[in-house]
Structure 1
Amino acid sequence: MSSVRRDRILLATVVFAVMLAQVLLYPGVPDLVDAVGASTSLDASMWFLAAEFAAFVAFAGAWGALSDGLGRRIPLVVAGALGGAVGYLALALLPAALSLSFLGVLALRALQGATTIGAFSLSMTTLMDLEGGHGKNMGAAGIAIGLGTAVGAPLGGQLYAVSPLLPLYAASGLLVCAAVLALPISDRAPGEGSEERGRVARALATLTERPVLGLPYVFGFVDRFTAGFFALVGTVYFREAFGLDAAATGVMLGLFFAPFALLQYPFGVLSDRIGRKGPIVVGSALYGLAVVGVGVSPTVAVAGAGMVVVGVIGALMSPATMALVTDLSADSARGTAMAGFNVFGSLGFLAGILVGGTVADEFGFLAAFLVAGALETAIALASIPAFLRIDLDAERSAFGG
């Protein structure tokens, strides 16, 4: 096996482990916040999920800039994974041991998110550094993300049936495994001595210097908005509207994440062959309508079919969007470029949680689905015309991607 292929598999496995750890918590998050001392209301669940993604937003750029400045990524991936493992373990042990308030629990959750994002973002950036085609490499990242979420949702539901804290222990163990898997991976980041790479300030200015990166960032926002919306609103909606328990809710989430996982790699390869524009435009245009379709489903079977459709659409656009970041970023600023993508993705996930949770709390689930679908559609319609006007070949040449 070639070293590139080996590293692609190892990196994808690291991404898988990080995502699996994260998603294990989603199916029974109301039970989890109750176990750590908060109410099982939608509001407490919302803030528990939001704390992690707020930390993702705050720290993704710092990890990316640090890796660009050092010219190394793997030691930071290992450090982030081990820090995340400690964070999950602290969430399981400290609330009861120290009688922490829910505010203290949220602080621990934020610290866990601040470290975990380093492992996630930089393992994806290291995939960007590999040869073999950006679509193929980002397809590997996409299928790892999708498989992590596809397995994590139903598995998390089963773990909750044993104990509401068991997913935290499992997540901690998974991140230790991710750190070990990252150790033998070769660092292929451009060296520290590079003129551009030596200046972190220049790396932080990547988006300002390359505003065209804003387009994949916006589409990434829409993609992750959907995931955040279903992680909170979808979870509570399926439990309340159809009377599902945590295990059955995990299966429903898996109906979205399974096709999202299985189709990532072939759709990533497809985007290498036909270009990025078609998959991104079609996917972003249909996303909002598919989300609304789940919200107006009259039965659990119809809702499940709608979740499959949402998963297929997400798989169509996700690897093409990530590959577009690689296409348009300079080699010396990939860490910051991917960090920027993850910041916008985390903002999307955070918005999906906060917007969906707030509207559902105030006006009900139907209103939440309608608002989420309308917002996604509006963002897509505003962005697609500008995207279609971009000459991607010229941009790649200009920015050295």
Structure 2
Amino acid sequence: MSEAVPRNLAPRPVKHALQLGLKANWRQFALLVLVNAFVGAMVGMERAILPAIAEQEFRLVAHSAILAFIVVFGVSKALTNYVAGRFSDAFGRKAILVAGWLCAVPVPFMLMWAPSWNWILAANALLGISQGLTWSTTVIMKIDLAGPANRGTAMGINEFAGYFAVGAAALASGWLAARYGLRPAPFYLGVAYVVLGLVLSVAAVRETRDYAHHEAGAAAPAALPSQREIFARTTWRDPDLSSISQAGLVNNLNDGMAWGLFPLIFAAAGLSLPQIGVLAAIYPAVWGVCQLFTGALSDRIGRKGLIVAGMWVQALGIGLIALATAFAWFASGAVLLGVGTAMVYPTLLAAIGDVVNPAWRASTVGVYRLWRDLGYAVGALLSGLVADRFGVPVAVWVVAALTFLSGLVVAVRMRETRHAGKERATARR
């Protein structure tokens, strides 16, 4: 089999020697952290208030109808993730990042002035496309810059920025909704997020694809597998990648349930809109902050144990929320859910970087993120249908059980991957 790579993937000459690592690239890395914070804030502005808008303004009753916006978001984001990775390999990262921000421009205006629920669904389809392009690309660009030694740390910082911003934006939109009404005031923030993210991406972010080529090595480039082969490896053929993909799907399955059902659970318990906003912020904020530590921890102790334990901690947090009736217990469950998710989220991305050749890493990340973000749609559909049929508590317990089983799959099927990148480099030499 020929070892040649397509021309657009061959290492390119650059004006100066490229250095991998966070210290060598800290300015560009910090800029991408800031950009990803604006990406996360675009999702956060919805989390505390869209279920309330569905019930109070559009008079939706069925849980499956209310959660339809998450289904639309999840499907559009998942499909966009799939092509974003491949396009990033083919056309470069920066162009895909800018295209994602352009897709986000209409979203806050559609949410402000939507005359029907279908407009909300359309806005979330655009938001999903934007998130698939922007978040996927910032992940890939940080992996490019960090190199193998700091991959977990880089992913922890990236996901911290995104999900801490989700929590902060949820808290801000909940406060604005309580003070000024559900619409349009909370979505003014979205206009600022889009403008800042787009301007920074166009004017300051630099292309990072050459860093991936540099890591792959000019001396012995690997043949690029077909997209079908990459899809098969990531989905079922490779036990490490397929274990990672199912864990990512289930992780976002429970997040889709939390996004749609938790505000309704909190409201049914008699909590006020500001309290619901605080609870909606706790989970992603804890998730975000803890990733500063869990990503780096995975570089030291390995990936597999953190993933397994994280899925089981998430299951415990979900179960506690199912049992709770008071704010303090809801908050405790949200903290556990955030901690467990932080143990899993950056570690899954770092594990992919461990086992995949840099030449097709972006494509593999795209397939993984396809399955991971389909979890939003699966979680919203499953929990909505079960809630309508058997009640909200049963839906929450079903998701908790699936989360526990997902951790068990990783424990049985996945190997430790932390040293795979070093082994691959040694074999190439």
Normalised to the residue count of structure 1, the TM-score between the two structures is: 0.88
Indicate whether 1:17 and 2:34 are aligned: no
Determine helix, strand or coil for the equivalent of 1:130: helix
- Cross-structure match for 1:89: 109
Q: Is the 8 A contact 2:244 2:348 kept in 1?
A: yes
- Cross-structure match for 2:139: 124
2:247 is aligned with what amino acid? F
Determine helix, strand or coil for the equivalent of 2:383: helix
Structure 1 245/208 Cα, relative in aligned 2: closer, same or farther at 3 Å? same
Structure 1 245/28 Cα, relative in aligned 2: closer, same or farther at 3 Å? farther
- Cross-structure match for 1:237: 265
Which of 32, 44, 51 in structure 1 is aligned with 2:65? 44
Deviation per CA, 1:109-139, whole angstroms, max 9, x where unpaired?
3133223320111111111111251011101
Q: Is the 8 A contact 1:256 1:311 kept in 2?
A: yes
Which of 311, 316, 340 in structure 2 is aligned with 1:284? 311
Structure 1 355/148 Cα, relative in aligned 2: closer, same or farther at 3 Å? same
- Cross-structure match for 2:244: 216
Structure 1 361/110 Cα, relative in aligned 2: closer, same or farther at 3 Å? same
- Cross-structure match for 1:147: 164
- Cross-structure match for 2:364: 337
Indicate whether 1:270 and 2:287 are aligned: no
- Cross-structure match for 1:355: 382
- Cross-structure match for 2:419: 393
Q: Is the 8 A contact 1:207 1:214 kept in 2?
A: no
Structure 1 397/192 Cα, relative in aligned 2: closer, same or farther at 3 Å? closer
Q: Is the 8 A contact 1:292 1:370 kept in 2?
A: yes
Q: Is the 8 A contact 2:86 2:362 kept in 1?
A: yes
Q: What does 1:24-173 align with in structure 2 at a 5 Å threshold?
A: 24-33=45-54, 37=58, 39=60, 41-70=62-91, 72-93=92-113, 95-96=114-115, 101-131=116-146, 133-161=150-178, 162-165=180-183, 166-173=185-192
1:163 is aligned with what amino acid? G
Deviation per CA, 1:338-380, whole angstroms, max 9, x where unpaired?
2222212211222222212222222212211211111111222
Q: Is the 8 A contact 2:263 2:276 kept in 1?
A: yes
Q: What does 1:186-265 align with in structure 2 at a 5 Å threshold?
A: 186-190=206-210, 202-203=226-227, 205-209=229-233, 211=238, 212-240=240-268, 242-265=269-292
Q: Is the 8 A contact 1:357 1:368 kept in 2?
A: yes
**Which runs of 5 or more structure 1 residues have no equivalent in the other structure?**
none
By how many angstroms is 1:61 displaced?
A: 0.9
By how many angstroms is 1:209 displaced?
A: 4.1
By how many angstroms is 1:53 displaced?
A: 1.1
1:253 is aligned with what amino acid? A
Structure 1 396/156 Cα, relative in aligned 2: closer, same or farther at 3 Å? farther
2:331 is aligned with what amino acid? G
- Cross-structure match for 2:407: 380
- Cross-structure match for 1:316: 343
Q: Is the 8 A contact 1:22 1:171 kept in 2?
A: no
By how many angstroms is 1:168 displaced?
A: 3.2
By how many angstroms is 1:392 displaced?
A: 5.4
Structure 1 191/202 Cα, relative in aligned 2: closer, same or farther at 3 Å? farther
Q: Is the 8 A contact 1:204 1:336 kept in 2?
A: no
1:53 is aligned with what amino acid? G
By how many angstroms is 1:28 displaced?
A: 1.3
Determine helix, strand or coil for the equivalent of 1:79: helix
- Cross-structure match for 1:176: 195
Determine helix, strand or coil for the equivalent of 2:389: helix
Normalised to the residue count of structure 2, the TM-score between the two structures is: 0.83
1:125 is aligned with what amino acid? I
Q: Is the 8 A contact 2:155 2:346 kept in 1?
A: yes
Identity %: 23
- Cross-structure match for 2:333: 306
By how many angstroms is 1:395 displaced?
A: 7.2
Matches of 2:299 and 2:193, distance apart in 1: 32
Q: Is the 8 A contact 1:76 1:118 kept in 2?
A: yes
Determine helix, strand or coil for the equivalent of 1:113: helix
